[in-house]
A and B are shown apart, each in its own frame.
Chain A
Amino acid sequence: GQQLNQSPQSMFIQEGEDVSMNCTSSSIFNTWLWYKQEPGEGPVLLIALYKAGELTSNGRLTAQFGITRKDSFLNISASIPSDVGIYFCAGRIFTSGTYKYIFGTGTRLKVLA
């Protein structure tokens, strides 16, 4: 199935550093969602974006819906050890008469204390 291009694939960072990741696509989306998934658990919704240009924060997390509607980024400020996990994006698209979610390939984040 189709997947969104997400980068970076993985990253090691020091505690306290800021983190940035993004998703890009050749398709236009009407919703962008960002999730965090820890080992053996289901994805947990972090931020939902509904309008082009929208910038939304959730604590130390900030995400933006790209102006072209083809991309989105997620920033984590002042990372802490519990930020470890896999982050992935999802875009919602209307295709073939129905809504469909396309998911990113994931960014594996490891935080060094």
Chain B
Amino acid sequence: DVKVTQSSRYLVKRTGEKVFLECVQDMDHENMFWYRQDPGLGLRLIYFSYDVKMKEKGDIPEGYSVSREKKERFSLILESASTNQTSMYLCASNGGSSYNSPLHFGNGTRLTV
């Protein structure tokens, strides 16, 4: 089974703090994604990566950055946390552009700022 692990289930941070959300997958997947999930807004893509050291902006990248130094690990960084970044953050991965490679999610990190 695919396993996508997010390092923290719950985080509480103060405004202005730098926040790191870590995600690791164990299936050698090329693609990794960071979403945030908010009531009434559904899942919104923040950033994604198709390869090591590669990153692409999603629909709502403002206030965030990412790092992918190793294939299995994709980190989301909030440079200076703000209250409007309180949300559920979901990491996901899948394998390349293969037709038969569905998106698998981690358990989520609920961040309160």
Q: Interface on A for B, CB 8 Å cutoff? A: 1, 3, 30-31, 33, 35, 40-45, 48, 50, 88, 90, 98-101, 103-106
Instruction: Tell me if A's interface is mostly helix, strand, loop or mixed.
Output: strand
B97 is an interface residue with CB less than 8 A from chain A: yes
Contacts of A44 in B (CB 8 A): 105
Contacts of B102 in A (CB 8 A): 31, 33, 45, 48
Contacts of B6 in A (CB 8 A): 42
Contacts of B45 in A (CB 8 A): 1, 100-101
* Contact code string B1-25 (vs A, CB < 8 Å = 1, else 0): 0001010010000000000000000
B27 is an interface residue with CB less than 8 A from chain A: no
Contacts of B43 in A (CB 8 A): 103
Interface residues on B, range: 20 to 34
Contacts of A99 in B (CB 8 A): 97
CA distance A23 to B110 in the complex (A): 27
Contacts of B60 in A (CB 8 A): 1
Contacts of A88 in B (CB 8 A): 42
Which residues of B93-113 have CB atoms within 8 Å of chain A's CB atoms?
Answer: 97, 99-100, 102-108, 110
Contacts of A30 in B (CB 8 A): 99
Contacts of A103 in B (CB 8 A): 42-43
B73 is an interface residue with CB less than 8 A from chain A: no
CA distance A42 to B34 in the complex (A): 12
CA distance A104 to B41 in the complex (A): 10
Contacts of B9 in A (CB 8 A): 40
Contacts of B110 in A (CB 8 A): 40
Closest to A4 in B: B42
CA distance A43 to B82 in the complex (A): 26
